Structure 1
Amino acid sequence: MNIVLWVLGVLLALHTAVGAAWKFTNSEQSVPSLNVIPHGVWMAMSGVEILCAIGLVVPAFYKPLAFLVPLAAVLIAIEMLAFSVLHLVSGDSTMGPMVYWLVVAAICAFIAYGRYALTPFS
Protein backbone atom coordinates (compact mmCIF):
# COMPACT_ATOMS: atom_id res chain seq x y z
CA MET A 1 0.00 0.00 0.00
CA ASN A 2 2.90 2.32 0.74
CA ILE A 3 4.15 2.11 -2.86
CA VAL A 4 0.68 2.80 -4.25
CA LEU A 5 0.34 5.85 -2.02
CA TRP A 6 3.75 7.19 -3.07
CA VAL A 7 3.03 6.66 -6.76
CA LEU A 8 -0.35 8.40 -6.45
CA GLY A 9 1.24 11.16 -4.38
CA VAL A 10 3.94 11.83 -6.97
CA LEU A 11 1.38 11.80 -9.80
CA LEU A 12 -0.85 14.18 -7.82
CA ALA A 13 2.15 16.43 -7.18
CA LEU A 14 2.90 16.54 -10.93
CA HIS A 15 -0.76 17.20 -11.70
CA THR A 16 -0.88 20.00 -9.14
CA ALA A 17 2.37 21.60 -10.32
CA VAL A 18 1.13 21.58 -13.91
CA GLY A 19 -2.17 23.08 -12.73
CA ALA A 20 -0.31 25.84 -10.92
CA ALA A 21 1.76 26.60 -14.02
CA TRP A 22 -1.42 26.63 -16.09
CA LYS A 23 -2.98 29.14 -13.69
CA PHE A 24 0.02 31.44 -14.08
CA THR A 25 -0.30 31.40 -17.87
CA ASN A 26 -4.09 31.32 -18.23
CA SER A 27 -6.81 33.50 -16.87
CA GLU A 28 -9.67 32.21 -14.75
CA GLN A 29 -11.91 33.32 -17.64
CA SER A 30 -10.60 30.41 -19.73
CA VAL A 31 -12.93 28.16 -17.69
CA PRO A 32 -16.32 29.92 -17.83
CA SER A 33 -17.70 28.41 -14.62
CA LEU A 34 -14.65 29.69 -12.67
CA ASN A 35 -15.08 33.23 -13.95
CA VAL A 36 -16.30 34.43 -10.53
CA ILE A 37 -12.88 33.84 -8.94
CA PRO A 38 -11.03 37.17 -8.60
CA HIS A 39 -7.70 37.32 -10.39
CA GLY A 40 -5.73 37.81 -7.17
CA VAL A 41 -7.30 34.71 -5.65
CA TRP A 42 -6.58 32.81 -8.88
CA MET A 43 -2.89 33.72 -8.61
CA ALA A 44 -2.79 32.94 -4.89
CA MET A 45 -4.22 29.50 -5.64
CA SER A 46 -1.22 28.91 -7.91
CA GLY A 47 1.14 29.56 -5.03
CA VAL A 48 -0.80 27.28 -2.71
CA GLU A 49 -0.78 24.56 -5.38
CA ILE A 50 3.00 24.79 -5.72
CA LEU A 51 3.37 24.46 -1.94
CA CYS A 52 1.00 21.47 -1.96
CA ALA A 53 2.97 19.80 -4.75
CA ILE A 54 6.15 20.24 -2.73
CA GLY A 55 4.39 19.00 0.41
CA LEU A 56 3.38 15.81 -1.37
CA VAL A 57 6.95 14.79 -2.28
CA VAL A 58 9.28 16.35 0.33
CA PRO A 59 8.48 13.67 2.95
CA ALA A 60 10.01 11.07 0.65
CA PHE A 61 13.36 12.72 1.38
CA TYR A 62 12.78 14.04 4.91
CA LYS A 63 10.51 11.84 7.05
CA PRO A 64 9.76 14.38 9.84
CA LEU A 65 7.67 16.33 7.31
CA ALA A 66 5.38 13.35 6.60
CA PHE A 67 2.42 15.22 8.08
CA LEU A 68 2.50 17.45 4.98
CA VAL A 69 1.24 14.69 2.66
CA PRO A 70 -2.30 14.37 4.07
CA LEU A 71 -2.46 18.13 4.62
CA ALA A 72 -1.54 18.87 1.01
CA ALA A 73 -3.94 16.23 -0.30
CA VAL A 74 -6.80 17.68 1.74
CA LEU A 75 -6.07 21.22 0.51
CA ILE A 76 -6.08 20.05 -3.10
CA ALA A 77 -9.32 18.12 -2.52
CA ILE A 78 -10.95 21.24 -1.04
CA GLU A 79 -9.92 23.23 -4.09
CA MET A 80 -11.34 20.59 -6.44
CA LEU A 81 -14.61 20.47 -4.49
CA ALA A 82 -14.82 24.27 -4.58
CA PHE A 83 -14.36 24.20 -8.36
CA SER A 84 -17.18 21.64 -8.57
CA VAL A 85 -19.50 23.79 -6.48
CA LEU A 86 -18.71 26.88 -8.56
CA HIS A 87 -19.41 24.85 -11.69
CA LEU A 88 -22.80 23.76 -10.36
CA VAL A 89 -23.73 27.26 -9.21
CA SER A 90 -22.75 28.75 -12.57
CA GLY A 91 -25.44 26.72 -14.28
CA ASP A 92 -23.02 25.25 -16.81
CA SER A 93 -24.62 22.07 -18.12
CA THR A 94 -21.38 20.33 -19.14
CA MET A 95 -20.43 17.65 -16.65
CA GLY A 96 -16.90 16.96 -17.94
CA PRO A 97 -14.99 19.47 -15.81
CA MET A 98 -16.94 18.60 -12.69
CA VAL A 99 -16.36 14.86 -13.11
CA TYR A 100 -12.65 15.54 -13.58
CA TRP A 101 -12.48 17.67 -10.41
CA LEU A 102 -14.43 15.10 -8.39
CA VAL A 103 -12.13 12.27 -9.52
CA VAL A 104 -9.08 14.31 -8.48
CA ALA A 105 -10.76 15.08 -5.13
CA ALA A 106 -11.42 11.36 -4.60
CA ILE A 107 -7.77 10.53 -5.31
CA CYS A 108 -6.74 13.25 -2.86
CA ALA A 109 -9.08 11.81 -0.22
CA PHE A 110 -7.61 8.34 -0.75
CA ILE A 111 -4.06 9.67 -0.36
CA ALA A 112 -4.96 11.68 2.74
CA TYR A 113 -6.74 8.74 4.35
CA GLY A 114 -3.96 6.34 3.38
CA ARG A 115 -1.22 8.56 4.78
CA TYR A 116 -3.17 9.46 7.90
CA ALA A 117 -4.71 6.10 8.81
CA LEU A 118 -3.41 3.19 6.73
CA THR A 119 0.34 3.74 6.47
CA PRO A 120 1.08 6.89 8.43
CA PHE A 121 4.50 8.45 8.14
CA SER A 122 5.92 5.74 5.85
Structure 2
Amino acid sequence: MNLALWIAAGLLAAVSLLGGITKTFVPKEKLAAAHSGGEWLKHASVGFVKTLGVLELLAAVGLILPAVLDIAPFMVPVTAVCWVLLMVGAMITHGRLGQFTLAMLNLAYIALAAFIAWGRFSLEPFTS
Protein backbone atom coordinates (compact mmCIF):
# COMPACT_ATOMS: atom_id res chain seq x y z
CA MET A 1 0.00 0.00 0.00
CA ASN A 2 2.87 2.34 0.79
CA LEU A 3 4.21 1.96 -2.76
CA ALA A 4 0.78 2.65 -4.27
CA LEU A 5 0.48 5.80 -2.16
CA TRP A 6 3.92 7.01 -3.25
CA ILE A 7 3.06 6.37 -6.91
CA ALA A 8 -0.26 8.21 -6.55
CA ALA A 9 1.45 11.13 -4.83
CA GLY A 10 4.13 11.24 -7.52
CA LEU A 11 1.56 11.25 -10.33
CA LEU A 12 -0.52 13.94 -8.68
CA ALA A 13 2.58 16.01 -7.93
CA ALA A 14 3.62 15.79 -11.60
CA VAL A 15 0.16 16.93 -12.74
CA SER A 16 0.22 19.72 -10.19
CA LEU A 17 3.74 20.81 -11.17
CA LEU A 18 2.89 20.96 -14.87
CA GLY A 19 -0.33 22.89 -14.24
CA GLY A 20 1.38 25.20 -11.80
CA ILE A 21 4.24 26.03 -14.14
CA THR A 22 1.93 26.81 -17.03
CA LYS A 23 -0.49 28.92 -15.00
CA THR A 24 2.29 30.79 -13.24
CA PHE A 25 4.71 31.46 -16.09
CA VAL A 26 2.73 31.33 -19.37
CA PRO A 27 0.83 34.52 -20.25
CA LYS A 28 -2.93 34.16 -19.85
CA GLU A 29 -3.68 34.87 -23.53
CA LYS A 30 -1.16 32.29 -24.74
CA LEU A 31 -2.45 29.77 -22.22
CA ALA A 32 -6.06 30.29 -23.36
CA ALA A 33 -5.09 29.89 -27.02
CA ALA A 34 -3.03 26.74 -26.45
CA HIS A 35 -5.41 25.04 -24.06
CA SER A 36 -8.49 23.28 -25.46
CA GLY A 37 -10.41 23.91 -22.23
CA GLY A 38 -9.19 27.47 -21.83
CA GLU A 39 -12.65 29.06 -21.92
CA TRP A 40 -12.57 29.57 -18.17
CA LEU A 41 -9.60 31.88 -18.62
CA LYS A 42 -11.84 34.46 -20.33
CA HIS A 43 -13.63 34.95 -17.02
CA ALA A 44 -10.52 34.98 -14.81
CA SER A 45 -8.11 37.77 -14.00
CA VAL A 46 -4.38 37.37 -14.53
CA GLY A 47 -3.86 37.51 -10.76
CA PHE A 48 -6.36 34.71 -10.19
CA VAL A 49 -4.70 32.47 -12.79
CA LYS A 50 -1.25 33.14 -11.29
CA THR A 51 -2.60 32.42 -7.80
CA LEU A 52 -3.96 29.08 -8.97
CA GLY A 53 -0.58 28.35 -10.50
CA VAL A 54 1.25 29.09 -7.27
CA LEU A 55 -1.21 26.92 -5.33
CA GLU A 56 -0.56 24.08 -7.74
CA LEU A 57 3.20 24.50 -7.36
CA LEU A 58 2.80 24.41 -3.59
CA ALA A 59 0.69 21.27 -3.91
CA ALA A 60 3.42 19.59 -5.96
CA VAL A 61 5.91 20.38 -3.22
CA GLY A 62 3.53 19.45 -0.39
CA LEU A 63 2.71 16.04 -1.82
CA ILE A 64 6.35 14.91 -1.90
CA LEU A 65 8.90 16.94 0.05
CA PRO A 66 7.49 16.70 3.60
CA ALA A 67 7.70 12.92 3.45
CA VAL A 68 11.02 12.75 1.62
CA LEU A 69 12.70 15.19 3.99
CA ASP A 70 10.81 13.84 7.02
CA ILE A 71 9.88 17.39 8.00
CA ALA A 72 6.19 17.64 8.91
CA PRO A 73 5.16 14.56 6.87
CA PHE A 74 1.59 15.03 8.10
CA MET A 75 1.42 17.78 5.46
CA VAL A 76 1.18 15.17 2.68
CA PRO A 77 -2.44 14.15 3.44
CA VAL A 78 -3.31 17.74 4.35
CA THR A 79 -2.05 18.82 0.92
CA ALA A 80 -4.09 16.04 -0.68
CA VAL A 81 -7.24 17.34 1.03
CA CYS A 82 -6.44 20.86 -0.20
CA TRP A 83 -6.02 19.46 -3.71
CA VAL A 84 -9.48 17.88 -3.44
CA LEU A 85 -10.94 21.29 -2.60
CA LEU A 86 -9.09 22.95 -5.47
CA MET A 87 -10.30 20.32 -7.93
CA VAL A 88 -13.89 20.61 -6.72
CA GLY A 89 -13.72 24.26 -7.73
CA ALA A 90 -12.19 23.33 -11.07
CA MET A 91 -14.85 20.68 -11.63
CA ILE A 92 -17.65 23.16 -10.91
CA THR A 93 -16.06 25.71 -13.26
CA HIS A 94 -15.67 23.23 -16.11
CA GLY A 95 -19.15 21.84 -15.51
CA ARG A 96 -20.71 25.31 -15.75
CA LEU A 97 -18.96 25.84 -19.08
CA GLY A 98 -20.18 22.48 -20.42
CA GLN A 99 -16.67 21.00 -20.44
CA PHE A 100 -17.71 17.65 -19.04
CA THR A 101 -14.60 15.82 -20.22
CA LEU A 102 -12.44 18.19 -18.19
CA ALA A 103 -14.85 17.93 -15.26
CA MET A 104 -14.41 14.15 -15.33
CA LEU A 105 -10.63 14.60 -15.43
CA ASN A 106 -10.94 16.77 -12.32
CA LEU A 107 -13.01 13.99 -10.75
CA ALA A 108 -10.17 11.55 -11.44
CA TYR A 109 -7.74 13.94 -9.73
CA ILE A 110 -10.14 14.18 -6.79
CA ALA A 111 -10.24 10.39 -6.50
CA LEU A 112 -6.44 10.18 -6.59
CA ALA A 113 -6.04 12.89 -3.95
CA ALA A 114 -8.74 11.33 -1.76
CA PHE A 115 -6.89 8.02 -1.99
CA ILE A 116 -3.67 9.72 -0.86
CA ALA A 117 -5.42 11.53 2.01
CA TRP A 118 -7.23 8.40 3.18
CA GLY A 119 -4.11 6.27 2.85
CA ARG A 120 -1.78 8.67 4.64
CA PHE A 121 -4.23 9.63 7.37
CA SER A 122 -5.29 6.08 8.26
CA LEU A 123 -3.74 3.15 6.34
CA GLU A 124 -0.05 4.05 6.01
CA PRO A 125 0.62 7.24 7.97
CA PHE A 126 4.15 8.55 8.11
CA THR A 127 5.66 8.13 11.56
CA SER A 128 8.27 10.57 12.84
TM-score category by the smaller chain? 0.7 to 0.9
State the alpha-carbon separation in 1 of the partners of residues 122 and 45 from structure 2.
36
Tell me whether 1:59 sits opposite 2:69 in the alignment: no
Counterpart in the other structure of 1:36: 43
Tell me whether 1:19 sits opposite 2:19 in the alignment: yes
Counterpart in the other structure of 1:119: 124
Unaligned ranges ≥5, structure 1: none
Kindly tell me: are residues 96 and 74 of structure 1, through their superposed partners in 2, closer, same or farther at Cα, counting changes over 3 Å? Answer: same
Counterpart in the other structure of 1:68: 75
Tell me whether 1:47 sits opposite 2:54 in the alignment: yes
Higher deviation after alignment, 47-56 or 33-42:
33-42
State the alpha-carbon separation in 1 of the partners of residues 69 and 107 from structure 2.
30
- Aligned residue pairs total 120
Unaligned ranges ≥5, structure 2: 33-37
State the alpha-carbon separation in 2 of the partners of residues 89 and 8 from structure 1.
28
Give the TM-score of the pair, scaled to structure 2: 0.83
Q: CA RMSD in A?
A: 1.8
Identity, in percent, stands at 32
Give the counterpart letter for 1:60 in structure 2: A
